[in-house]
């Protein structure tokens, strides 16, 4: 399916891209990126590079690691789950920020998706892959 324009809306709450489908009367649909996309590869690399020497991020990652063979519940850190969620959230925010910047550098217009509009789903026939 083809995008109507080189414009996407981004719904930051769920990290979703939404676009208009030229093949289906301009209907909105979720936009995802192919696993082999150069855009996502570059965004991943930039994200990893920016976190490579970040001591706070590394400390959180160490705290989040779990010894799967240690069944002694008293030895587990009660903050382990929160640290894991924090590392995922930090990486996710930076990745999507980098992806948006890369898209803009490549001529895309990225707008904020209005919260009052319903969100399309992956099951919709208007799903598009870049």
Instruction: Give per-residue pLDDT as tens, 71-125.
Output: 666 666 788 889 999 999 999 999 999 999 999 999 999 999 998 888 887 666 7
* pTM for the full predicted model: 0.84
Res. 42 pLDDT band, cuts 50 70 90: very high
Please give the Cα distance from 28 to 3 (Å, whole number).
10
**Number of domains the chain is built from:** 1
Q: Is 2 inside any structural domain? A: no
Q: Is 32 inside any structural domain? A: yes
Q: Is 27 inside any structural domain? A: yes
Nearest one of 68, 64, 53, 65 to 86, comparing CA atoms: 64
Q: Is 77 inside any structural domain? A: yes
Q: Is 50 inside any structural domain? A: yes
Q: Is 1 inside any structural domain? A: no
Domain that includes residue 15, residue range: 7-129
Could you tell me the two tokens for 27? 């209907």
């Amino acid at each position: 399916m083809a995008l109507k324009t080189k414009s996407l809306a981004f719904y930051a709450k769920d990290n979703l891209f939404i676009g208009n489908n030229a093949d289906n009367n301009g209907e909105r649909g979720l936009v995802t990126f192919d696993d082999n996309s150069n855009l996502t590869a570059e965004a991943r690399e930039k994200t990893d590079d920016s976190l490579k020497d970040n001591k706070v991020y590394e400390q959180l990652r160490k705290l989040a690691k779990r010894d799967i063979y240690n069944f002694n519940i008293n030895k587990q850190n009660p903050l382990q789950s929160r640290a894991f969620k924090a590392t995922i959230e930090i990486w996710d925010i930076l990745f999507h920020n980098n992806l948006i910047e890369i898209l803009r550098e490549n001529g895309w217009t990225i707008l904020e998706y209005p919260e009052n509009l319903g969100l399309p789903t992956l099951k919709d026939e208007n799903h598009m892959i870049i």
